[in-house]
Every structure is written in C-alpha cells, then in structure tokens.
Structure 1
Amino acid sequence: MDLSMQIVKHVLVDEEKRDLGKNFLFSPLSLTTLLSMVASGLKGDAWEKMMSLLGLKSLADIFTESSRAMSFSSSEKANGPVLFSSVNGAWLDHKYTLKPSFQHALKSIFNAHSSTLDFTNQPEDSIDEINKWVENATKGLIKKSLSKDVLKVEETVLILAKALYFKGSWQYPFFPPATKCDNFYTLDRDTVQVPYMNKDCRVFDYGSFEGCKILRMPYKCSSGKIKHMFAMYFFLPHEKDGLHSLLEQLSTDSALLNLRFEFEEVRIRELKIPKFKFKYNLGVSEIMEQMGLRVNIKSDAEMLEALDANSVIEDMKVCHTSFIEVNEHGTEAAAVTFSLVGGGAPPPTVFVADHPFVFMIREDSSETPIFIGTVVNPLLE
C-alpha cells in the first residue's frame, strides 16, 4: 500500500481511529517530498524504514522524485490558467551546524532555502520568520502555521518545510448565477442546505464501478513549453452513506485510486458539485509511529555536526497543514509540511454530489496526486 492510502487508512478507515466528522485534506506530494528530505539525512534501520515507506531505494531515486515534483512548478503569471509553485525550506538553530553531506543534499537535491535562527533566545521572532515564509509560499492561504502550541521552539534544533500552492481554472467553468442551494445528506443522516454549482449537457470523462462513480473535471492547460495536465477527480459513492465503504475500497484496491482503467466520454445531463472551502491539520508523527517508524536524531540521523552525547534532543515530529477552495471558476489549494527536530454498469445521465465524497487533484501526464480529500459537509471550514 502506498503512503497516500496508508495515511487515508489510518485517519479515515481504521475503526478505532477514524474521524469522519469533518472534511479531510492532505497533499501526498508535499508530505512525500518533506519525508524525502528527512530520508536524505538518515542512516541504518531508520533510513531503510523511511525509504520503504516512500517506495524508494536509493539517493538517486530521491533526486529523481524531487526533480519531478519541482518540474510541475509553473512560470505562468498570477492570472494564467494554472499556477503551481513548490518550495522547500530549512532553519537551523545557531548553536548547531549541519553535516556537509546533509547540507549538500538540501541544496542540490531539494533547492531548499536555508537560514540560521536563534530558537532559544528569540523564539517568537523565529516562529514569525518561518510563518512569513509559509504565508508567502502559499500566497496567503496558510497563515500562522507554527505556534508555541505546536512547537517547543526553545528546544528546537532544526525545522524542515515543504510548501505547495496550486491555482487552476476549470476548462469548463460554471456559470455563477446558476449556483443554487439544495440538500446535502451528511453521514449522521442530517440534511443541510449548501450552494451547488450546476452545469447541463457537457461531456466529461466518466467511470462507473461497484460502489462508486468517478468524474474527471479538467483544468485549463498552461501555455508554457512543458504541458502539464491537471484535473480534479470526484469519487461519489452510489449510496448516500457509502463514504466509509468507498474509503475501504480505495485502501484495498490501488488500481481505483491510481485510475488504472479507461474512462468513457459521457454526456452528463445534470452536473451538481457543491462549493466548499476548508483547512485541515494532520499530525503525521503519530501515524508514522503506528507504521513502525520513529526517528531519533542522535542515533538514526546524520544531519548535525558534533552532537554532545548528553544533549537532550527529542524525536522528530512531522505536521501537515492544507487548505482548499473549490468554486465556479476553479480551485485554489495549498499545503505545508514540517519536520520538527527537538520540539461496470451503463453510465447514468446525472452526477449529483449531494452526499459525502472523495476528491483528488492530480497531474495526469505523470499520474502524480497533488491533493486527496473527503467532503462530509461542504459547510464545514
């Protein structure tokens, strides 16, 4: 099972841990890139486990995946049809020095912005500087991503970060005056009134399977030399209370989430997609521990020079924040991931997403998922 579905399984499928009471979102690309940065500084058993988790075998594989992720970055202007940016950052406490091999990897493989801060004596200034970097990298969508509640900054040694920003215009935009409120059926059998974007008689790529149907909604292509094709996929359960069954199906059938099948071009007589906007915080460290991976920087890593054997450095922590807004014009989304060291049937003619569903934003030419999420109630932010 790949990392994306392991995250989904731990958060949404496993009965003792699942949380289907709110909308869910994370960026596989942001998370895997950040963990690749961490992997480039690990050794021994921790390196083996991290590489296995990422599905990689060597530093060359890390370089290839990092180059692929950075290749998506767009040179389009802010008003272009697609804007995608991807940046990496590293902040080190002034009392420490990075090992040359790890410093080289951060610069040559990940092109990471790096600087030195005084976490001990200037904790608030340090947090402010990193938060400003994140806010700038996500075009203001994610603000104050780090706080003293998340990070014991005075005890922090090193912070690594991966930030993504995506803005795409629908190839076939919705007509705003056609947006109307209607019923949405939640998992607790409640009914809420939500604004639906509407479109009639348009051909879309479509697939129908046991348990769900899938619709592909493309974004306009960029006009640069390299053509990247971004699209959003909606996975809609046949049953109004079928989200959990769909998530179990996705977690066991990789071909479904990876879209290993042929879509049909189908004329959809009625298309209704709810507008939604929300932010989600994901504690990755706990999930990684449940997967059997806990990293101790002194014994498992080769990141820092001349560590005192008596120095107190806690295990690595990983946290992830993401944001998405879907409306008549398109989609705007962002994510930031931190590593904190120290601190079948004939298709119907309608596609009405009036009950909880799964969505994915993917770069189709490389088959890379950028964001994966669930909407249980479009009104929840």
Structure 2
Amino acid sequence: MKKLIPFLIVTGLLTGTAGCGTGQDEADTDKTGAPTMKIADHVEFGETDYELIAEANNVLGMKLLQDLSAREEGNIFVSPTSLYMALAMVYNGADGATKDEIAQVLEAEGLSAEEMNRANVSLVTKLASDSEDIELNIANSIWVKEGYTFRESFTESSQDYYNAKIETIDITDPASADAINDWVSDATNDKIKEMASKPLPGNLVTMLLNAIYFNGAWQYPFSEEATEERPFHLSDGSTVQVPLMALQAELSYLETENFQAVSLPYGEGEMNMHVFLPAETSSLDEFKEAMTEEEWADWLSRFEMKQGMVMLPKFELEYEKVLNDTLKDLGMETAFDGVDLSNMFESSGGLFISEVKQKSFINVSEEGTEAAAATSVAVGESAPAEPPFELNVNRPFFFAITDEETGVILFMGSIENPE
C-alpha cells in the first residue's frame, strides 16, 4: 500500500448546528454564551425537507472550490453551508431577476422562499448534535440602516426560520461596526474577527450575516508523541518541513488509481473529515476538476473499513475572500448592479449587492479540529451622480485651527512625520 501523506482536505463538516432547541422564548445562545440558532414552536417543516438543499449545498461548495482554484494559487478553505444560508436569507426577500439568479446559484430553481426556509430549518434540525465531543453552532443576524424598514413578512420569516437577530444601526457611528464584529466574534468563539470594515461603507443599507462554529474531538486521537517534522512535497517540486501527525487505526478507506482517501470520525462518528490524496501520477488540480456531486456520492459509497496508518499535517489556516466575481460566474450576473429586494423592503429601488464576503478559520491538531466561517452579504444604495470624496492623509500635510466667525487662525502647522 502506498504511503499516505494527505494533501487535500475536503471538508463536509461545517454543515449543521448543535444545541438546537424549540421555543422562541429560549435564550438564543449556546452553553458558552455565543449566539445560536433556535427554532420557534410554531414553525412547521417536514423532517426530510432538508433533501431539497442538501445536494445543492455540496454542489455550491464544489463550484466555489473550482472557481476559486482557477482564480488563485495556494490554500483555499470555504464553508458552502455558511454561504448557502446567507444567500438563502437574501432569497427570502428577493423577487424577479434577483430571485431567479440566486436560485441558480443555490441550485434551487423552482423552489419558493417558503420551501427554502423550511428546508433550512429541516437541515439545522437534522444535523443537531448533543454529543459532548462535537460542538457545532449556526447563527444569523441582519443589520439595517436607520430610515429603512423591512416588510413585516420578511422580518417574521427571518426570525422564525433563521432565528436572525435584527438590529437597526447608525452606519456613521463607529460603534455599529464594532457591534457587528463583536457578534461575529461571539458566534465563532473569537475565531473570525473584523468582518465589517470600520467605518462602515457610507452607502450601506443592510448586511446579512451567517456564522458557523465547529469544534470536534477525533474519535481516534493522534498521539502528540508521534508527531514529527517531516517533508511535505509542494506542487512545484520543492519540499518543506511540516509537523505530520501519525495514527494507526481501523478506518473507513478508499483507494483508486487516481487517489487515496480516508474518513476520520469525530465524536461517536456523527461527523467526519474526509481526506483525499491525489496519486503521484495525478494532481490536486485534476482532482478538483473531476469532483462532481455524482462522483462524491459514488466515492463515499465505496469506502470500506481497513486497518492502516494515516499521516496528516498539523496546521492552522485563515482564509478570506470577496466572492462577488465567483458568484457572477455562477449566475448572479445582475444583482451586483441592481437588486430586486421588493420582498424585503417596501421600496427597494436603487439598491445593489455591494459585497459578498467569507472569512474562515481551521485548526487541525492531535486532539481534533476547530473551524469557523462567517459570510456577509452587504446591500448598498446606488452611488450618487457625484461620488463621495476620499482624503487619505498619508504624506506630509498642513493644518490650521480657525475661528469660524472671525476667520482668525488660532493654530497652524505642517506635519512632516506624525510619529
């Protein structure tokens, strides 16, 4: 058997939430105090409604990975579930061409907003876990500029189906950006920070946010004593030294002429990390290009239990990406120029999606995996005929303090070096 030095981690672990309860009166926080998703008693959904979006979620992830890989080199780490739920909240308030485009991205053509909402609640409920070894939390929030009012139907569905915290903010107040960032930080156990820029964009109307946090202990922990610095072979032929963890166990395993793969379970096996290592005669790029939902399902069906050794890099990664161009490639062609949110606002003319951004974090160690992701969808007002100015005082400058009524200069000076 070939020696296994995993290169690619395909993660399907950020796809649920723990601690889901019922009843709107329950505290919307988990046992650590972080915001979490609760489901109201009166919300109705089918136990298998999640099937409407489960495969679509995976397809979105594969398309994301392929598009980003074509755009850039290096590490990529995304949460399709976080992006899917953030866009689902927008879908809830969209109409016309915007709704059609988001449906295309979400592989949800023909799906009503009500069906989308029920499917998301069903998914959250289905993946809820009470395991002491796995913590998995989803939270949503929506922040809206003063002077804008959501339709009552949008507010109700956002709170009922997504348990979204809805806050009105003064976008000119720096504390508003702090409040958004504090919410994201709390929801991700301080792993995702500075999600919102400070100051907030002057044309911001609303920001819809999804956050996911995962912390899972391996069912079969790696021994710290077995971790050693070993060579890791890069795509360009060079080699770097990295800490490789080692584990001998009976694990679910698959080997084809194109790759080796192993499934590493968390907790009691409720969730797994699937690790795929392309064959030396193949490449990571070829593997990602060949990956489809059909192939993925076929691969998972062929795993079999087998005794063996896994050597897996111990690593930590932070990733951030604005997804505007990728989403345009996937079908949202006009929403970034003009968006129809007539099911969100009483009047939605002159609005556009200004930015869809995702930030993510993962740490893989001998004990397990900690991962988090946050996705923001920012909606802005169309730029005025005359754009706002920008003054970046980043070189020597002059200043004066004057009295407005008399015109007298009280103080004046020139700064060559502020330090």
- Counterparts in 2 of 1:223-372, with a 5 A limit? 229-239=270-280, 242-250=283-291, 252=292, 254-256=294-296, 259-268=299-308, 270-293=309-332, 294-295=334-335, 300-302=340-342, 303-306=344-347, 313-342=351-380
Aligned CA distance change for structure 1 residues 296 and 183 (closer, same or farther; 3 Å) = closer
Partner of 1:58: 112
| C-alpha displacement of 1:314 | 4.0
Taking the aligned partners of 1:146 and 1:159, their CA distance within structure 2 comes to: 9
Correspondence 1:203 to 2:243? no
Partner of 1:138: 188
Give me the TM-score of the superposition, normalised by structure 2.
0.72
| C-alpha displacement of 1:212 | 0.9
* Structure 2, unpaired ranges of 5+: 1-55, 382-419
Aligned to 1:129, which of 170, 173, 179?
179
Correspondence 1:9 to 2:9? no
Partner of 1:171: 219
2:66 partner amino acid: K
| C-alpha displacement of 1:283 | 1.5
SS state at 1:96 partner: coil
Contact persistence 2:98–2:339 (CA under 8 A): no
Contact persistence 2:104–2:331 (CA under 8 A): no
- TM-align CA RMSD: 2.1
| C-alpha displacement of 1:256 | 2.4
SS state at 2:243 partner: strand
Taking the aligned partners of 1:147 and 1:69, their CA distance within structure 2 comes to: 31
2:122 partner amino acid: R
Partner of 2:152: 100
Q: After alignment, is 295-304 or 283-292 more displaced?
A: 295-304
Contact persistence 1:73–1:86 (CA under 8 A): no
Taking the aligned partners of 1:298 and 1:248, their CA distance within structure 2 comes to: 32
Taking the aligned partners of 1:135 and 1:97, their CA distance within structure 2 comes to: 26
| C-alpha displacement of 1:235 | 0.8
Partner of 1:31: 83
| C-alpha displacement of 1:257 | 6.2
Partner of 1:191: 239
The total of aligned residue pairs comes to 319
| C-alpha displacement of 1:206 | 0.5
| C-alpha displacement of 1:260 | 4.6
1:322 partner amino acid: S
* Structure 1, unpaired ranges of 5+: 222-227, 344-381
Contact persistence 1:296–1:316 (CA under 8 A): yes
Q: After alignment, is 233-242 or 189-198 more displaced?
A: 233-242
Give me the TM-score of the superposition, normalised by structure 1.
0.78
Taking the aligned partners of 1:38 and 1:24, their CA distance within structure 2 comes to: 25
Taking the aligned partners of 2:150 and 2:337, their CA distance within structure 1 comes to: 12
Q: CA offsets, 1:26-54, max 9 Å, x none?
A: 11111101110011111112212212321
Aligned CA distance change for structure 1 residues 240 and 209 (closer, same or farther; 3 Å) = closer
| C-alpha displacement of 1:160 | 0.4
SS state at 1:332 partner: strand
Taking the aligned partners of 1:287 and 1:299, their CA distance within structure 2 comes to: 17
| C-alpha displacement of 1:152 | 4.7
Taking the aligned partners of 2:295 and 2:373, their CA distance within structure 1 comes to: 25
Aligned CA distance change for structure 1 residues 325 and 51 (closer, same or farther; 3 Å) = same
Q: CA offsets, 1:124-150, max 9 Å, x none?
A: 2111000000000001111112224xx
Contact persistence 1:161–1:339 (CA under 8 A): yes
Taking the aligned partners of 1:324 and 1:258, their CA distance within structure 2 comes to: 27
Partner of 1:370: none
